[in-house]
Amino acid sequence: MANFPQRRMRRLRRNPAIRELLSETRLSRHDLVQPLFACDGEGIDRPVEALAGQSHHSTDRIGERALSVKEAGISAVILFGIPDRKDATGSSSLDPEGVVPRAIRAVRESVPEMIVIADVCLCEFTDHGHCGVLQEQSPGEFKVDNDATLEALSRQSTILADAGCDIVAPSAMADGQVQAIRVALDAAGHEEVMILSYAAKYASAYYGPFREAVKSAPAGGDRLGYQMDPRNAREALQEVALDIDEGADIVMIKPALPYLDIIARVHDTFEVPVAAYHVSGEWAQIQAAAEQGLIDGDQVYLESLQAIRRAGASIIVTYGAEQAARMLGSC
């Protein structure tokens, strides 16, 4: 009987070894970045109720947490800060002895070889929850003051680089933030510190658990004026192009799964590494469905990461990075 071409597809899938040999996409623990939440205080390892499996760690404990991440095979963490004190300008983010600089030094001391990424934004440090400094337009009406925000982000980035981070990750979506930060870093002698820009950060409803974790939900208004409209795709390419021109070393798309088309288009258009943030709402949905027995949580989670990798992201920031690394083994 003729060996018809359509039988080829079954032959290509007929056993695990062949499927592994022919797989088009390979997900590795080396692709993953584990977020960590640093808080003020001492002796704190406090579970985040809204974000399954995540905790706030005081800076005297976060080094131990980073060591656990490293032992699982993850080589990079991204740090977010939860300060005890918040104000209108996010001034604690500009303190060289603030929560994130202390966390960077603690991770460096505990795991010197760890790649340390530091988020650069004001939302975690302001009492109003917006990503920049606010300017009153009329009584009770405010907008983000872009110039004042750039100054704050530049100072914050230099302080984080002084503390020892390898990469700063500006997420405020302020116009010109990458250029301002690059100029400030270079002037401070930090030419080797990389910029991972949240270049296409959408004004998404998927951020809820994160905002609860760091208490950064806007006290008034919304972020539609500076984050991207979920309906737009070409705009993402424009934002990415601007950030690359300004000096971004890596560009980020956030969220990930609802924006796989954006990841793919950025990957196909630009010749820089592409990162994607598998955000808190994406993670929480999987965990909630798994708890209800509706899905195999581990397999759905790995499939989600494989989809992000297949779309073109070579770096995936994800809350289950340590868990995924243990499932992936030596890959």
Pair of tokens at residue 30 = 């080396």
User: Does residue 143 have an active-site annotation?
Assistant: no
In the set 70, 143, 215, 254, the catalytic residue is 254
Both ends of the chain: CA-CA distance in Å?
41
Residues 6+ apart with CB under 8 A from 87: 125, 126, 127
In the set 70, 86, 143, 201, the catalytic residue is 201
Burial label for 61, CB within 10 Å (0-12, 13-18, 19+), is: buried
Distance CA(234)–CA(270), nearest Å, equals 14
The distance between the two most distant Cα atoms of the chain, rounded to a whole number of Å, is 83
Residue with tokens 């983000």: 144
Residue with tokens 């460096």: 108
Helix (H) or strand (E) holding 138, with range, is: strand 134-138
Q: Please provide residue 225's backbone torsions phi and psi, each rounded to the nearest 5 degrees.
A: -75, -15
Give the residue from 113, 73, 120 showing the smallest Cα distance to 323: 73
User: Does residue 254 have an active-site annotation?
Assistant: yes
Pair of tokens at residue 211 = 């905002």
Given a contact cutoff of 8 angstroms between Cβ atoms, the answer to whether 157 and 181 are in contact is: yes
Distance CA(196)–CA(249), nearest Å, equals 6
Using CA atoms of 58, 61, 62, 68 in order, give the dihedral in degrees to the nearest 10: -150
How is 33-73 classified by DSSP, letter by letter? EEEEEEESSSS-EEE-TTSTT-EEEETTTHHHHHHHHHHTT
Catalytic center residues: 201, 254
